[in-house]
A and B are shown apart, each in its own frame.
Chain A
Amino acid sequence: MNSAIELTNVGWRAGKSFELKDVSLKVPMGSIYGFLGPNGSGKTTTIRMFMGMLKPDCGHISILGASVPKDMKSILARIGYVPERPHVYPALSVGEQVKVHASFYRLWDQGWCNELMDRLNLDATQRISRMSKGETGKLLLLLALSQRPDLLVLDEPTDGLDPVVRRDVLSAVLDYVSETSATVFISSHLVHELERICDWVGVMDDGRLVAEMPMQHFKNGIKRLRVANAPDTVDQAPFTLLGRHRDNGVGSLETWVVRDWEAPMRHYFDHVGATVRDVIDLDLEEGFVELLRSSRPQHKKGS
């Protein structure tokens, strides 16, 4: 078993409005996997699916080697989960909530919980109903980390938090990973945040997984090209063309956006009588935007 999470052809439909379509996803053991996608693309639904909270209509799911939802109970203790919406009781104090949570987990590490509470500047006596969004976010992470999980599932853990708290949260996660080499699955629409920490990326759009690859591949493989004398049709190209448009004004130059690019592929253009004037690097956010644009052809034509 070398995948911490594996979905195979998972489909699920909620009425007419939303559908997960044939999602196959693999999270390598020990990786930090960034799950990107716009709001409403199906990130949270996918997470609820492999967390055993929704049952897929078709397909197969396994998590830490157990089949979901059938054998979910046996591995639940090994998964730390920070859901999109807080699952804590506003009437309790931080200390009380910790006690409630701890009672469910055999591997709960109270010593470490105390240390984390200190590091994250959380006050055990404070009532949850009076805490800010940032403090609640830190509490959720504290609960997930103190159970010493092998897999950490974070659903938009930093959404709506201020930059200082965001740093604290990410640093605490990275610190835990350094020590334990746990697998982290982190969903976010804040692309920049994932850029430096993830080694794998999956991109969701409109209920489908439109890309999944190592981060380095994603960042280095998506380029913008300036092409002179571009051919009308692209046959047997070694790269994938995501989009093209003619530049305004200047002669016959076109801008292409390609995926799976490698430097020697310039030669392809010699064969078709075109020249690459420039290869422009895209950062993760630009690559992400281009990828989404190309995965939505029907929107472009305006249906």
Chain B
Amino acid sequence: MRAGGPSDLEPAELIMFSDIDPRSPTPLYEQIAARVRLAIAAGDLGCEDSLPSVRALARDLRVNPATVVQAYRDLAADGFVEIRHGQGTFVQEVSAFLRDEERASRAQQMVRRLLEDGARLGIGVEELSRAFSAEAGAKISE
């Protein structure tokens, strides 16, 4: 454990939290919780995998420990993780339904942002969907 030394987190954990943005209006605890939920939905985190300790994550992301605690509590309340006192925080068996729901809500967010950006630039749904088909078509034929 060194304040200035290499991180205590696993490389995969570092990548998971790498794009936390303190300047975003989305609260940091929501961002942290969202990263964990996404990792669970994507299968990167499986049942009984442990999350980084509050102390290690707070030190590594240089965020308030209370922020990490809040994120983990929210995840526990939603049934994604279980907080075992003195042992750590562990990923729960997440039902396929919950996982699909998470993926769907993620997809919805992505589309919503796209539409908002489009509206700001005056690009309508039709134009966007044409671009979408073209891009998706290009990806498939690659």
Residues of A within 8 A of B (CB): 30, 32, 116, 118-121, 164, 167-168, 170-172, 174-175, 177-179, 181, 192, 195-199, 216, 219-220, 278, 281, 283-284
Contact of B55 among A170, A179, A281 (CB under 8 A): A179
Structural contact, A196 and B61, CB atoms closer than 8 A? yes
A119 to B61 alpha-carbon distance, docked (Å) = 18
Interface of chain B, main secondary structure: loop
Residues of B within 8 A of A (CB): 1-5, 22-25, 27-28, 54-55, 58-67, 120
Considering the complex, give the chain B residue whose CB is closest to the CB of A199. Answer: B64
Structural contact, A220 and B25, CB atoms closer than 8 A? yes
Considering the complex, give the chain B residue whose CB is closest to the CB of A175. Answer: B59
Contact of A197 among B1, B23, B64 (CB under 8 A): B64
A13 to B45 alpha-carbon distance, docked (Å) = 59
Given contacts A175-B59, A178-B55, A196-B62, A119 and B1 within 8 Å (CB-CB): yes
User: Which A residues are in CB contact (< 8 Å) with B60?
Assistant: 171
Contact of A174 among B1, B24, B62 (CB under 8 A): B62
User: Which B residues are in CB contact (< 8 Å) with A164?
Assistant: 4
Structural contact, B22 and A172, CB atoms closer than 8 A? no
User: Which B residues are in CB contact (< 8 Å) with A195?
Assistant: 22-23
Structural contact, B65 and A177, CB atoms closer than 8 A? yes
Interchain nearest-CB distance for A143 vs B (Å): 15
Structural contact, B22 and A196, CB atoms closer than 8 A? yes
Structural contact, A172 and B3, CB atoms closer than 8 A? yes
Structural contact, A171 and B64, CB atoms closer than 8 A? no
Which of A168, A172, A196 is packed against the most chain B CB atoms within 10 Å? Answer: A196
Structural contact, A168 and B55, CB atoms closer than 8 A? no
User: Which B residues are in CB contact (< 8 Å) with A171?
Assistant: 3-4, 59-60, 62
A52 to B69 alpha-carbon distance, docked (Å) = 34
Structural contact, B4 and A175, CB atoms closer than 8 A? no
Structural contact, B22 and A120, CB atoms closer than 8 A? no
Interchain nearest-CB distance for B98 vs A (Å): 27
Considering the complex, give the chain B residue whose CB is closest to the CB of A220. Answer: B25
User: Which A residues are in CB contact (< 8 Å) with B2?
Assistant: 118-119
A120 to B24 alpha-carbon distance, docked (Å) = 31
Structural contact, B23 and A283, CB atoms closer than 8 A? yes
A170 to B64 alpha-carbon distance, docked (Å) = 10
Structural contact, B65 and A174, CB atoms closer than 8 A? yes
Given contacts A32-B64, A195-B22, A196-B28, A175 and B54 within 8 Å (CB-CB): no
Considering the complex, give the chain B residue whose CB is closest to the CB of A284. Answer: B23
Considering the complex, give the chain A residue whose CB is closest to the CB of B23. Answer: A283
A192 to B60 alpha-carbon distance, docked (Å) = 16
Structural contact, B3 and A178, CB atoms closer than 8 A? no
Structural contact, B55 and A167, CB atoms closer than 8 A? no
Structural contact, A178 and B4, CB atoms closer than 8 A? no
Structural contact, B64 and A121, CB atoms closer than 8 A? no
Structural contact, A168 and B25, CB atoms closer than 8 A? no
Interchain nearest-CB distance for A245 vs B (Å): 21
